[in-house]
């Protein structure tokens, strides 16, 4: 039975007990018979203070976009701002669509930040999220285009 699971997960041997633990990115299987709860990856308590600080100090572009999408104003979709997924804090998150919106200012255009954003986006895509990015100036100059682009990523009509 170990061989069947090896391709999809990773065995963690528990030396202090008489069972093995199979680790998957989203689930733990205990002793090959019982599936435990999915790993918690949203709103981790360790990120609470950081998220709160970011929510209380939005950039002007984030504040402007938030006014346009909060309270279900965009096709009745609910968004969260400064939401954490694993160890990343995303600017805006729509749970019903698994959609992440990131606003990029000047700090995102140097090579190190660009590489970090690439790795971060790849990980979030791997977890099943769609990540879309806009430059801050687009929010101020072409809000209608930004909102239309966000809405075009919605999977279903409500």
What is the tens place of the pLDDT at every residue in 51-82?
888 888 899 999 999 999 999 999 999 999 99
pTM greater than the 0.85 cutoff: no
Distance CA 62, CA 128 (A): 24
Judge contact between 12 and 20, C-beta under 8 A.
yes
The β-bridge relationship of strands 99-104 and 130-135 is parallel
Would the CA dihedral through 42, 46, 51, 56 be positive or negative? Answer: positive
Place domain 45-152 in its CATH homologous superfamily.
VSR Endonuclease (3.40.960.10)
Judge contact between 19 and 31, C-beta under 8 A.
yes
Cβ of 36: how many Cβ atoms within 10 Å? 10
Which regions of the chain carry the CATH code 3.40.960.10? 45-152
What pLDDT score was predicted for residue 64?
97
Least confident interval from 9-23, 39-53, 91-105 = 9-23
- Residue 118 pLDDT grade (very low, low, confident, very high; cuts 50, 70, 90): very high
What pLDDT score was predicted for residue 48?
85
């Amino acid at each position: 039975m170990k061989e069947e699971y090896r391709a999809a997960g990773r065995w963690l041997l528990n030396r202090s007990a008489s069972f093995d633990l199979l680790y998957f990115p989203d689930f733990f299987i205990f002793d090959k018979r019982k599936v435990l709860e999915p790993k918690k990856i949203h709103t981790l308590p360790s990120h609470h203070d950081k998220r709160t600080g970011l929510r209380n100090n939005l950039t002007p572009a984030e504040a402007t976009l938030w006014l346009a999408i909060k309270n279900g104003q965009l096709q009745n979709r609910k968004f969260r701002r400064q939401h954490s997924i694993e160890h990343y804090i995303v600017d805006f998150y729509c749970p019903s669509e698994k959609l992440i919106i990131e606003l990029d200012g000047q700090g995102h255009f140097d090579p190190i930040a660009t590489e970090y954003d690439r790795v971060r986006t790849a990980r979030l895509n791997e977890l099943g999220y769609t990540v879309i990015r806009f430059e801050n100036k687009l929010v101020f100059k072409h809000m209608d285009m930004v909102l239309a682009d966000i809405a075009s990523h919605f999977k279903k009509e409500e």
